[in-house]
Amino acid sequence: MSDYIPIPCAFHEQLEFAVLRRQRLQLRYLSDTGEIEAVVLPLDVATRDSAEWLTCQLGDGHVLTLRLDRLRSARPA
C-alpha cells in the first residue's frame, strides 16, 4: 500500500499500550463516508501490506480493522 503515511511513534505506542491493558478508547477516524467516532476495545496493532493496522471491537461485538493513518485521535474512554 504505497499511499500509507506512517503515524508518530508516540501515537503508535499509545495504541499498543491500550491493547496490552485492554483499555477502551474513544476513536475518531476517517471512513469512506466521512469522520466517525466510536468507543472500541483495541485487540491488536499489526503491520501488513506495507501499512499498520488496528484491529478493534465495537460495543456491539463487531470487529473492525482500521489503517492507522486513518485515525485522527484516540483517548481513553
Domain boundaries, the chain: 9-76
What pLDDT, on the 0 to 100 scale, is given for residue 2?
Answer: 63
Whether 15 and 67 have beta carbons less than 8 Å apart is answered as no
* CATH code of the region 9-76: 2.30.30.100
Could you give the residue ranges of the DSSP H alpha helices within the chain? 9-21
pTM for the predicted model, two decimal places: 0.92
Partners of 46 in the β-ladder: 53
pLDDT digits (tens, 9 = 90+) for 1-50: 469 999 999 999 999 999 999 999 999 999 999 999 999 999 999 999 99
Distance (Å, whole) CA 34 – CA 23: 25
